[in-house]
Amino acid sequence: MTNTAASSAAVSSPQISRERAVRKSEDTDAGEYALNYDPKDRLMVGESIRHSTFGIGTVERVGEGKAIVIFPSGARTLACRR
């Protein structure tokens, strides 16, 4: 007998506010969204964000009030909520 509650919890992804979520591009699958970057928000490792200057990136690390985000042009350190 398997524990389905534990396995489904491990697979679930963080919920995204509809106000902050935007499509990554027109040709992506229905579940692929990026969050509009706001330094007042908390970021989580693995989240996709859309930055007005750098484009779409993926959060690699989160620390004390800052996050390392990987963009197509390279890694950037961005401010974020602790």
Per-residue pLDDT of the chain (82 residues; tens, 9 = 90+): 444 444 333 333 445 555 555 655 544 444 468 899 999 999 999 999 999 999 999 999 999 999 999 999 999 999 999 8
Are the C-beta atoms of residues 32 and 16 closer than 8 Å to each other?
no
Is the separation of the CB atoms in 71 and 56 below 8 Å? yes
Which alpha helices (DSSP H) does the chain contain, by range? 4-11
State both tokens at 81.
């909520």
Decide if 6 is inside a domain.
no
Segment holding 51, helix H or strand E: strand 48-51
- Count H helices, E strands: the chain? 1, 6
Asked whether the beta carbons of 78 and 69 are under 8 A apart, the reply is: yes
Q: Is residue 9 part of a domain?
A: no
Indicate whether 41 belongs to any domain: yes
Our count of domains for the chain comes to: 1
Range of 25's domain?
16-79
pTM: 0.65
